[in-house]
Amino acid sequence: MANNYARIAADILRRIRENRPVVHSITNYVVMNSTANVLLAMGASPIMAHAPEEMEELVNIAGCVVINIGTLSRPWIGSMVSAARLCAKSGTPYVLDPVGAGATKLRTDTSQDLIKAAKPKTIRGNASEILSISPAGGTTRGVDAMHDVNEAVDAASEVASSLETVVAVTGVRDLVTDGNHSLIITGGHPLMGYVTGTGCAASVIVGAFLAVEEDALIASASALAFFGLAGEKAAAQANAPGTFWVKVLDSLYTITAEELESSARIEEA
Amino acid sequence: MANNYARIAADILRRIRENRPVVHSITNYVVMNSTANVLLAMGASPIMAHAPEEMEELVNIAGCVVINIGTLSRPWIGSMVSAARLCAKSGTPYVLDPVGAGATKLRTDTSQDLIKAAKPKTIRGNASEILSISPAGGTTRGVDAMHDVNEAVDAASEVASSLETVVAVTGVRDLVTDGNHSLIITGGHPLMGYVTGTGCAASVIVGAFLAVEEDALIASASALAFFGLAGEKAAAQANAPGTFWVKVLDSLYTITAEELESSARIEEA
Amino acid sequence: MANNYARIAADILRRIRENRPVVHSITNYVVMNSTANVLLAMGASPIMAHAPEEMEELVNIAGCVVINIGTLSRPWIGSMVSAARLCAKSGTPYVLDPVGAGATKLRTDTSQDLIKAAKPKTIRGNASEILSISPAGGTTRGVDAMHDVNEAVDAASEVASSLETVVAVTGVRDLVTDGNHSLIITGGHPLMGYVTGTGCAASVIVGAFLAVEEDALIASASALAFFGLAGEKAAAQANAPGTFWVKVLDSLYTITAEELESSARIEEA
C-alpha cells in the first residue's frame, strides 16, 4: 500500500511528464548515450555540452545540471567548476556524481573542488565514493561501515551534515539523507551490476526529479525508487544484461505515476 | 503505389547496399555509437575521426562527410572547419547537422562559420535550428512558422535559396527543399522523440544517400523516407523506446529496396 | 568434443568470473559504452580513463590495459604512450588495437610509437591493420595475402616474431600467433560486420583473458573463441544487427565455462 512518500514520488513523476524538464549533463563519455536515453525515456529533455563558451546559456535553460566526473581531463574539470559556479549564481540545482572518487587523487580532489566551488543539491555515489569525499576523511570507518544499515546511516548523515547537502548512497538498498532525516529505498536488481552506467543513470534521474521538486531529500529518494522499480520490471522480462537494459529503458517510459505510487518502497531509516 | 520518387529512393538504396560507401562523421560524443550502428545496419561504412593530422586522408576516402555540432569545443570546431574546406577542395559532399543552433551563440556562430568555410550539400535540422541559421535572421517568423505547411515551405525555401544548399527540416513530417522544388516526406513515429540521436541518425542516413547520388534534393528526401519507414516498422514491433531503437536498427538492415519502393511517401509540396 | 585448448579456455573464463579482473581501456569514443558493457556482461570490471594525472594509479589497479587508437588526438596519444610505459614499469599486460592503422599516417605512426614505447602482450587487428604495422612494411604481400590461410599464417608469424608479441588477426576465421605457434579459431557470424565496435570488443575480451592468464597466445585464442561462441549464440536468436548485439551481450553473460569447453573451436594452424 502506498505510503506518503510513494504518493509524493508519483506526484513528482507526473510533473516531469507534464513539464519535460531540461537536464544538462557534463558527464563521462561512456554513459552519454545511455543517460540521454534514460532521460528521454522517462519524459525529461537531456542536453549534453561542455564548452565554456556556451555554459551560461545552457545552465540558464536547464532545470537541473548533473556533473559526473567519470572521464576527467583538465579542460573538462574547468568546465565542470564553471558550471557549478553558474548553478550557484542562477539558483539552478546541481547533482554531483563523484565517479571513482577515492580510487585516484584526481577524482577525489576534483570532487572536493566542485563541492567548494558550489554546493550540490545532491551527491549520488556508492559507499566508497561518498566516504572518500567526507571532510572528516572517512578512512577510519572505511567502506565496510556501509554493510551495516545503522552504521551506514550514521556515516552518510555525517557526510551530508558536514557538506550541507543531500547524500544518496546507492547499493543493494539505497540510502538518502540530509543529515537529519534518512530514507531507505528498496528496489533494483543484481543485473544492474552487469550494465555500464547504472549509477550514472541513477544520477540523471535524480537530476530530473530535482528539476521539478525543490525538496532534495524527497526528490532524490523518489528518483531512486522510480529507477529501482524500472530495474525490477526489467528483470521480470530479462535474464541477461543486454535485454535487461533495453527493458529498463522501456520501463522508464511505461511506468505510470499510479504504478510508482503503488510500488515505490521508501521508508524512514 | 510507388511514385517516381519512391522508385528513385529504392534505386539509391540498392547502390548503397552494393557499394557500401564510406561516410566520415565528425560528430557529437552522445551519438557516435548509435549513428555508427545506423550506418552499418543500412549497409554503409562509417568512419569517425577528428584529428586534423589525418583529416585530409579520411576526407579523400569518404563518399560523404557529416559534420554534427552537438558537443562542441574549440579544437573540434577547428577540425570541422578544416574538414568542410577539404570537402570543397576534393569535391566530397558534406552534410551539416547544426544541433542546437539558435539555443546558444556558439552553436549559431559555428554553423554559420561552417557554411562560410564551404557550402554543405544538405543542412538537416529541426525547424528552429534551420531558422536560426537563416542569413535573414529568421527571427521575424520564428519557429511557429513551421506549424503551417505552406509557411514552412516558404521559410525553408528562403533559407535554401539564400544559402544555395538543400535544406531538410525534420519533424512530424519532413520537408526537403532546394529553394525551387520542395518535397514532403511522411513517415516515422512519435517514439523517435524518446530516443537520443534520431535527428543525428537522419543526418548520417542523408550522408550515405549523398555518397552515391549527386542530386542532393532527391538523395535527402529518399534518405528521410527510408528512415521514416524504419521508424514505422520498428513501432509496429515495439511500444517503448528501448525496444523501439533496437527494432529501428533491425529495420534499417532488413528493409529491401523493393519494400522502400512500395512504401516510401515522398510528395511535392 | 573438447580439445585441450577448449579446456584451457574454459578454465580461464572460470577465473575471470571468480576474480572479476579490472580492465582499463584508453579507447575510442565510439565504443566506450559498448565495450564497457561487453566487459561487465562477461564478468570483468571495466575502467575507462585517459587523464595523465591518474594514469599511474589506474594502471596499478588494472589486471590489463587495452589501448585502442580509434579516435586519436594529440593529448590522447600522449596518454596512451604514457600508459604503455607504465604497463612496462609495473608489469601490467597491455593489448594494442591499432584501429585504422594503414589507413592514415597518424594511425600507423601512433601504433608504431606505442610498440616502441612498450611491447604489447597482444596486438589485435584485422589483416590490413596488422600488415601495416609490420616492421618489414608488409606492403609487398599486402592484404590479399590473408585470403589464403597458409600465407596468412606466414605473414602474421613474421609480424609476431619481429615485434616479439602475440598477434591476433580477426576475420572470417581468427588467427593467433606468437611467431612459433599459430592457432586458428572458428566462430562468429557475418552479422558482426553490421555492428560497430565488434573488433574493439574482441580486444577488450582479450584484455580480460590476459588479466588472469599469463600465456598470451592461449589467453588471446581463448578470448576469441569465447567471443565467437557469443556471436554464434546471438545469431541463433536474431536475424538483424540491433537484436543481434543485444543477444551478444546476453550471451557473454550466460555462456558458462562448461559450454565454452564443449563448443570452443581452437586448432593448430
Q: Could you read off the pLDDT of B24-77 as tens digits, one per residue?
A: 999 999 999 999 999 999 999 999 999 999 999 999 999 999 999 999 999 999
C207 interfacial to chain A (CB closer than 8 Å) = no
- Please, are residues C104 and C129 in contact by the beta-carbon 8 Å criterion? no
**C39: distance to nearest CA of chain A, Å?**
9
C31 interfacial to chain B (CB closer than 8 Å) = yes
B253 interfacial to chain C (CB closer than 8 Å) = yes
Check B33 against C31: CB less than 8 A apart. Answer: yes
Closest Cα in chain A to C52: A73
Grid cell 576526407 in the structure block, residue:
B59
Query: Does A138 score more than 60 pLDDT?
Result: no
Closest Cα in chain C to B31: C30
Residues of B with CB below 8 A from C194's CB? Answer: 40-41, 253
- Please, are residues B238 and B244 in contact by the beta-carbon 8 Å criterion? yes
Separation between Cα atoms, residue C189 and residue C208, nearest integer Å? 22
What number is the average pLDDT over the span C186-192?
A: 96
Q: How many CB atoms lie within 10 A of CB C265?
A: 16
- Name the pLDDT band for A142 (thresholds 50, 70, 90): very low
Of A14-28, A194-208, B138-152, B250-264, the range with the lowest mean pLDDT is B138-152
- Name the pLDDT band for C138 (thresholds 50, 70, 90): low
Residues of B with CB below 8 A from A36's CB? Answer: 30, 196-197
- pLDDT number for residue B31: 97
Q: How many residues does chain A have?
A: 269
Query: Does B147 score more than 90 pLDDT?
Result: no
Residues of B with CB below 8 A from A235's CB? Answer: none
Interface of C with B in 134-173 (CB under 8 A): none
What number is the average pLDDT over the span C43-66?
A: 97
- Name the pLDDT band for C27 (thresholds 50, 70, 90): very high
C251 interfacial to chain A (CB closer than 8 Å) = yes
- Name the pLDDT band for B1 (thresholds 50, 70, 90): low
Query: Does A1 score more than 90 pLDDT?
Result: no
Query: Does A240 score more than 70 pLDDT?
Result: yes
C2 interfacial to chain A (CB closer than 8 Å) = no
All partners of chain C with 3 or more CB pairs under 8 angstroms: A, B
Cβ neighbours for B77, distance < 8 A, ≥ 6 positions apart: B110, B113
What number is the average pLDDT over the span B226-248?
A: 98
Query: Does C159 score more than 80 pLDDT?
Result: yes
pLDDT digits (tens, 9 = 90+) for C214-261: 999 999 999 999 999 999 999 999 999 999 999 999 999 999 999 999
pLDDT digits (tens, 9 = 90+) for A39-60: 999 999 999 999 999 999 999 9
B90 interfacial to chain C (CB closer than 8 Å) = no
Residues of C with CB below 8 A from A195's CB? Answer: 37, 40-41
Q: How far is CA C26 from the centre of its chain?
A: 13
pLDDT digits (tens, 9 = 90+) for A204-234: 999 999 999 999 999 999 999 999 999 999 9
Please, what is the Cα angle at C151 between C145 and C157, to 5 degrees?
Answer: 105
Closest Cα in chain B to C71: B49
Give the CB-side neighbour count of residue C268, counting CA atoms within 13 A. Answer: 4
- Name the pLDDT band for A2 (thresholds 50, 70, 90): low
Separation between Cα atoms, residue B35 and residue B31, nearest integer Å? 6
- pLDDT number for residue B137: 60
Tell which residue, C202, C177, C186, C179, has the closest CA to residue C3: C186
Cβ neighbours for B7, distance < 8 A, ≥ 6 positions apart: B261
B38 φψ region: left (φ > 0), alpha (ψ -120 to 50), beta (else): alpha
Check B33 against C34: CB less than 8 A apart. Answer: yes
**A256: distance to nearest CA of chain B, Å?**
13
Please, what is the Cα angle at A96 between A91 and A101, to 5 degrees?
Answer: 150
Query: Does A147 score more than 50 pLDDT?
Result: yes
- Please, are residues A82 and A52 in contact by the beta-carbon 8 Å criterion? yes
A35 interfacial to chain B (CB closer than 8 Å) = no
Residues of C with CB below 8 A from A241's CB? Answer: 37, 40-41, 249-250, 253
A257 sits in which H/E element: helix A257-263
Tell which residue, B122, B140, B118, has the closest CA to residue B131: B140
pLDDT digits (tens, 9 = 90+) for B107-142: 999 999 999 999 999 999 999 999 999 887 654 444
Residues of B with CB below 8 A from C34's CB? Answer: 33
Residues of A with CB below 8 A from C22's CB? Answer: none
Sign of the CA dihedral with A149 first, then A154, A160, and A166 last: positive
Q: Which residue in B104, B129, B191 has the most chain A C-beta atoms within 10 A of its own C-beta, making it the best mutation to test that interface?
A: B104
Residues of A with CB below 8 A from B103's CB? Answer: 57-58, 61
- One-character DSSP codes across B183-218: EEE----GGGGGSTTHHHHHHHHHHHHHHH-S-HHH
What number is the average pLDDT over the span C140-163?
A: 75
Check A71 against C49: CB less than 8 A apart. Answer: yes
| Average model confidence (pLDDT) across chain C | 94
- pLDDT number for residue A141: 46
Between residues A147 and C122, which one has the greater pLDDT?
A: C122
**C170: distance to nearest CA of chain A, Å?**
24
Tell which residue, A142, A165, A167, A171, has the closest CA to residue A221: A167
- pLDDT number for residue A146: 55
Between residues C138 and A92, which one has the greater pLDDT?
A: A92
Check C254 against A241: CB less than 8 A apart. Answer: no
C1 interfacial to chain B (CB closer than 8 Å) = no
What number is the average pLDDT over the span B220-232?
A: 98
Check B253 against C241: CB less than 8 A apart. Answer: yes
Q: Which residue in A47, A253, A259 has the most chain B C-beta atoms within 10 A of its own C-beta, making it the best mutation to test that interface?
A: A253
Dihedrals φ, ψ of A188, to 5°?
A: 80, -170
What number is the average pLDDT over the span A179-190?
A: 96
Between residues A28 and A136, which one has the greater pLDDT?
A: A28
> Residues C197-234, buried b or exposed e (16+ Cβ, 10 A)?
bbbbbbbbbbbbbbbbbebbbbbbbbbbbbbbbbbbbb
Query: Does A145 score more than 60 pLDDT?
Result: no
When CB atoms are compared, the residue of A29, A40, A246 closest to B246 is: A246
Check C72 against B51: CB less than 8 A apart. Answer: yes
- Please, are residues B177 and B157 in contact by the beta-carbon 8 Å criterion? yes
Looking at residue A120, its amino acid is P
When CB atoms are compared, the residue of A29, A249, A250 closest to B29 is: A29
pLDDT digits (tens, 9 = 90+) for C84-110: 999 999 999 999 999 999 999 999 999
Residues of C with CB below 8 A from A32's CB? Answer: 33
Check B53 against C105: CB less than 8 A apart. Answer: yes
Grid cell 532488413 in the structure block, residue:
B254
B196 interfacial to chain A (CB closer than 8 Å) = yes
- Reported ipTM: 0.95
What number is the average pLDDT over the span C209-216?
A: 98
Query: Does C145 score more than 90 pLDDT?
Result: no
What number is the average pLDDT over the span B146-174?
A: 89
**Cell reading at B94:** 558534406
- pLDDT number for residue C158: 94
